[in-house]
Structure 1
């Protein structure tokens, strides 16, 4: 389970790149009740999604030509420059070199060997998101990849994550991811091999955010009524919760979950 006591390797930031920040802000306000706050004129259009006075995500205009709307997951690192070297040594590549974000922290973005985009945040004045694992905030992160074994090796080399494989049915395995040295209750997400049907439909390796909601069915209805496209309808996963997968109106993938308790 995610907490705001961030440790190395745990998700500690999340932001949305979008061609239309105003339209995206209106959509997520309708679905989650988020408020949008600008980071100021010097931030290049970047801003924050907030709930109950706490930051739950960032949002900004797309900065790369040809890019589409997407969510980017950041993982805690005590040294972004060292992580950049580890990424390259493990076979990944640097998309955005480590750089300071004013006094708030230091960030960098990478691509893993299969092509999935991810990033790191080295805390400065800002440790990370103010709220996680409560309704309207990040609940977990998942990687869908074309080579699960290679992904485990890569992220193990970069973040030293602990992994545990769970059979999901014929030919399917889900790998639970936990920060190094943490107990099983600290798991922050998982990874799995993309099924051939998904590949045939055009899926590519990606990290996906799951947002906690108090009522998955109601939130799913609100999202689709507000212009989202359903990729997977509300599904019950015993012992995990009720979840659904969607594309927002501008094409960014996200998932919602009402986590099973007890």
Structure 2
């Protein structure tokens, strides 16, 4: 990812909603070396921030609703959450939650794009988002998996003003020439019950070693470590509670 700090319109944070918060903390601490800290306030609902050193890099949370799936979620920075949800609705998306204030740290909303992929909007106040990107153990890329790529291009360029760098092999999202993510069309290899979704990729020093550590810790390897022609070495994993995420070799950002 060419972005190295939260930028309006770009990915700024990622959160895991999980069915077993304690187990997830153990798994990701072993995998990425995170230091989790759970907000002790009752109204925070168990919200846990993972750190690398002093930098916040991601969050882990309990499931707050029965309908909430175990999954990683990606947040995009906006200047005005209320204005952003109006744009989302006008562009054909659906707002599920908010906008609502989170203490004094920011204002957020949860939405679906027209094909049903969930994402979050974050208007940062005292907390703009992750303190580090692209370093081992931190967010370094976000990828939309969808069955409606043409509709996704129209929607996300309207809502966030993204640039689109498309080739026959892959479509990249960017801001002012800085690519931060991409898009994959979900074909027949994806079971019909798998919904469109955003997939975060975390940077690691060694993709193969990380994949081995994940499986030893109870995770599942969904895509073997692979070197993408002209791109990074990557793998896609599922944690023991069934949340899916990707990893890529740090330094391979393009």
- Asked if 2 retains the 8 angstrom alpha-carbon contact of 1:29 and 1:35, the reply is yes
For 2:118, the equivalent position in structure 1 comes to: 117
Distance in 1 of aligned mates of 2:189 and 2:73: 24
Within the alignment, does 1:57 sit opposite 2:61 as a pair? Answer: no
1:110, distance to aligned residue in structure 2 (A): 0.2
For 1:250, the equivalent position in structure 2 comes to: 241
Within the alignment, does 1:192 sit opposite 2:184 as a pair? Answer: yes
For 2:27, the equivalent position in structure 1 comes to: 27
Distance in 1 of aligned mates of 2:253 and 2:3: 16
Distance in 2 of aligned mates of 1:175 and 1:210: 16
1:3, distance to aligned residue in structure 2 (A): 3.3
Distance in 1 of aligned mates of 2:189 and 2:229: 24
1:175, distance to aligned residue in structure 2 (A): 1.1
For 1:17, the equivalent position in structure 2 comes to: 17
1:2, distance to aligned residue in structure 2 (A): 4.3
Distance in 1 of aligned mates of 2:104 and 2:253: 38
- Asked if 2 retains the 8 angstrom alpha-carbon contact of 1:2 and 1:132, the reply is no
Flag structure 2 segments of 5+ consecutive residues without an equivalent: none
Q: Deviations over 1:24-59 (max 9, x none)?
A: 000001111111101222311111011112111011
The list of structure 1 runs, each at least 4 consecutive aligned residues, that deviate by more than 3 angstroms after superposition, is 2-5
Matched residue SS, 1:188: strand
Question: Residues 37 and 91 from structure 1, CA distance in 2 versus in 1: closer, same or farther, beyond 3 angstroms?
Answer: same
1:13, distance to aligned residue in structure 2 (A): 1.1
Distance in 1 of aligned mates of 2:218 and 2:2: 29
Distance in 2 of aligned mates of 1:31 and 1:197: 28
Q: Spell out the pairing of 1:99-114 with structure 2 (5 A cutoff).
A: 99-114=100-115
Distance in 1 of aligned mates of 2:211 and 2:17: 22
1:66, distance to aligned residue in structure 2 (A): 3.0
For 1:85, the equivalent position in structure 2 comes to: 86
- Asked if 2 retains the 8 angstrom alpha-carbon contact of 1:4 and 1:128, the reply is no
Distance in 2 of aligned mates of 1:2 and 1:103: 29
- Asked if 2 retains the 8 angstrom alpha-carbon contact of 1:17 and 1:62, the reply is yes
Distance in 2 of aligned mates of 1:43 and 1:207: 25
Distance in 2 of aligned mates of 1:70 and 1:60: 10
Within the alignment, does 1:141 sit opposite 2:145 as a pair? Answer: no
Distance in 2 of aligned mates of 1:5 and 1:232: 29
TM-score (norm 1): 0.93
Distance in 1 of aligned mates of 2:238 and 2:180: 22
Distance in 1 of aligned mates of 2:8 and 2:114: 21
Q: Spell out the pairing of 1:112-191 with structure 2 (5 A cutoff).
A: 112-168=113-169, 174-179=170-175, 182-183=176-177, 186-191=178-183
Distance in 2 of aligned mates of 1:37 and 1:194: 36
Moved more, 36-45 or 86-95: 36-45
- Asked if 2 retains the 8 angstrom alpha-carbon contact of 1:9 and 1:159, the reply is yes
Q: Spell out the pairing of 1:33-48 with structure 2 (5 A cutoff).
A: 33-41=33-41, 42-48=43-49
Matched residue SS, 2:67: coil
Root mean square deviation, CA, Å: 1.3
